[in-house]
Amino acid sequence: MGLWTAECGHDDCSGCNLTNDGNPTRLFCPHSSHEIVRASMCREAGDGAFSMSNRADVSWRAHVRPTLVQRQTENGKLICGICKKDIGVDANGKISYTSISQTVHVEYPPIDHYNKDWADRRADLEATAAFQRADLVRQHDMLMDEFNRDPLRITCKTCNLTR
């Protein structure tokens, strides 16, 4: 489960820095009896919740997608960076597909790391002395920079899932 810090809705509560094993949201502060309004998981270097194995806390920066779309658009169509076929996006630049559970999903087409996949890029970065010396905030910034660094390409869902 992991250790969580919690903050209740009372302004003068001495328990605002209380910790709980498991997410305490929707519970009540034992000091003030007010509802817990904010909670966050405690993170330490090497913590499994911060391992980045599933890109936790890492996302695309605002400038990445528009730059890639501009680079991969030919004759008004967004072209897959792998198979070179039209991705078929709607007016909002999104694709839609129906999953096995018959749920319709609408999302942006995937962005792919290549000439070193994300796992290899992350492993190389985490092995550097600068990363190992950095505090958690700086490590997160370094991971964000690496995650958003070229070479990147937009792909169709099929190509991204089969490579």
Q: Which of 159, 143, 129 is nearest to 61 (CA)?
A: 143
**Band of the pLDDT at 92, cuts 50, 70, 90?**
confident
Q: How many CA atoms lie within 13 A of 155 on its CB side?
A: 17
**Parallel, antiparallel, or unpaired: how do β-strands 73-74 and 111-113 relate?**
unpaired
**Between 100 and 60, the higher pLDDT residue:** 100
Whether 13 shows a pLDDT value over 70: the answer reads no
pLDDT-derived band at 53, boundaries 50, 70, 90: very low
Number of alpha carbons in the 13 Å side-chain half-sphere of residue 124: 8
> Which pLDDT value is given to residue 47?
44
Token pair 């000091």 in the structure block, residue: 31
Q: pLDDT value at position 138?
A: 87
Cβ neighbour number for residue 87 with a 10 Å cutoff: 22
Phi/psi of residue 37, nearest 5 degrees: -105, -20
Distance of CA 82 to the CA centre of its chain: 23
Rounded distance between C-alpha atoms, residue 110 and residue 156, angstroms = 7
Torsion (CA) 82, 86, 88, 92 in degrees, nearest 10: 80
Reported as a pLDDT band with limits 50, 70 and 90, residue 85 is very high
How many residues can be counted in the chain? 163
Q: Which two tokens stand for residue 122?
A: 């992350």
Give 90 or 23, the one with higher predicted confidence.
90
Q: Where are the domains of the chain?
A: 64-162
Q: Which pLDDT value is given to residue 54?
A: 42
Q: Is 70 exceeded by the pLDDT of residue 125?
A: yes
Whether the CB-CB separation of 18 and 30 falls below 8 Å is answered with: yes
pLDDT at site 40? 62
Preceding amide of 151 cis, omega within 30: yes
How confident is the model at residue 1, as a pLDDT? 42
Indicate if the pLDDT at residue 55 is higher than 50: no
